Structures are given as C-alpha cells and as structure tokens.
Amino acid sequence: MEPFIIFGLGNPGREYERTRHNIGFIAIDKLSISWKIDLSRVRYKSIVGEGKFNNIKIFLVKPLTYMNRSGNAVSSFMNFYKITPDRILVIHDDMDLPFGSLRIRSGGGSAGQRGMQSIISRLGTHSFPRLRVGIGRPPGRMEPMDYVLQKFSSRDQEDLDFVLNAIVEAVEILIADGIDKAMTLFNHSVLDND
C-alpha cells in the first residue's frame, strides 16, 4: 500500500512558534507524540518523521520553505515517493472558521490561504485531502496578518489541547476508515462551548 504523507503548514523560525498561522506545525508535533514518530530528519526542505499507523507507512512533514512556498516541499516529496494526491493530507489554519472548528475536504480551492495556493499551483490540482483548522477572525480592527502571527492566548491554549486531540482522532479515522467517515464525524466545532 502507498505511504500516507501528512503535511502541516507553517513558518519556520522561533518567532513563529505556537502562532495561529502555525497550527499545521503544531498538529504535526501532536501527531508525532501520539504515534511516537520522531521528527528529526531534514529532507526536501522539510522536517520529516517516518513511522507507521494502522500498519500504513506514514510521513509527518513540516515544510521549511515558509508558508507561501509550501508547494515546493510538497511537490518534491510527492515526486520522489511517486505518491498520488489522494494519499496526502494538508493541515492548515483558516481564519474563516471559528476557533475550535475543523473542516475536512477531499478537494477545493485555497480560500486565500497562501500555503494552499502554492500547493495547488505546484501540484496542478486542487483534488487532495485537506484539514482546515479554524483560528477565528481578528478582533476589532486588527490586521489579519498581525492576528495570524500572534501566539495563542493562555485562554485559547486550554481549548487548543482539545482541538489537537480532535485533530489526531480525525486523522486516524481518515486513514483507517476513509475521508467520508472523517468528514461526518469531525466537520464541526470540537469545543463544548460552541
């Protein structure tokens, strides 16, 4: 069976750690802990972990190309391993979803997310699974770029733990039982207070 590659989008560098825009990186870190996959190698302009889940070979990948060039790392990986687009999952932030909401889709546009735009452009298709993680809209008149590059607040941090646990469950269902079941179970807010 073909390997499954999970890409979490974010920006490299200490100044971007734990920011809303880096929820993809944070999700990959959580998956690596849950599945005991070491993220220690650097290949194809990415931090990479290799292991197994459900007897399927898994790659966990954090592209180091910066968000708007994510397609370079994704296409390099897919070309080397001869992976078809249905065997990848891209996890990224989405301001148009409330914080705590997940949306799994088998394809679609980028919704203005630059990492996704880059991947769609480099792959020449928009037909690949993605998991959008809601980070909510900026408050008041705050600029969107300032908002996405802010670290999660201490209040959000508690809820973030629930969100990350739900992401792990959603990805496990997607791999084991297929995307339709994952969409049915997880396309909603995972927080009790929403």
163 conformational bin, left if phi > 0, alpha if psi -120 to 50, beta if neither: alpha
- Give the list of residues 6+ apart from residue 12 with CB closer than 8 angstroms, or none: 62, 64, 66
Domain that holds residue 137: 4-186
Say how far apart CA 12 and CA 19 lie, in whole Å: 11
Tell me whether residue 192 is in a domain.
no
One-character DSSP codes across 13-38: SGGGTTBGGGHHHHHHHHHHHHTT--
Mean pLDDT of 143-164: 90
Specify the CATH number for the domain of residue 82.
Answer: 3.40.50.1470
Element (H, E) at 47: strand 46-53
Mean pLDDT of 64-81: 92
* Reported pTM: 0.95
What was the pLDDT predicted at 47?
A: 96
Q: Is pLDDT of 194 > 50?
A: no
Report, as residue numbers or ranges, the catalytic residues.
21
Say how far apart CA 28 and CA 188 lie, in whole Å: 20
What was the pLDDT predicted at 146?
A: 93
Mean pLDDT of 14-40: 96
Say how far apart CA 93 and CA 103 lie, in whole Å: 10
Mean pLDDT of 141-145: 91
Confidence band for 48, pLDDT divided at 50, 70 and 90:
very high
Mean pLDDT of the chain: 93
Q: Is pLDDT of 101 > 50?
A: yes
What was the pLDDT predicted at 2?
A: 86
Lowest-confidence segment of 110-114, 135-139, 143-147, 168-172 by average pLDDT: 110-114
What was the pLDDT predicted at 178?
A: 95
Tell me whether residue 52 is in a domain.
yes
What was the pLDDT predicted at 193?
A: 52
Q: Which residue, chain included where needed, has tokens 């060039």?
A: 69
Q: Is pLDDT of 109 > 60?
A: yes
Mean pLDDT of 172-190: 94
| Tally of structural domains, the chain | 1
Mean pLDDT of 32-58: 95
Tell me whether residue 126 is in a domain.
yes
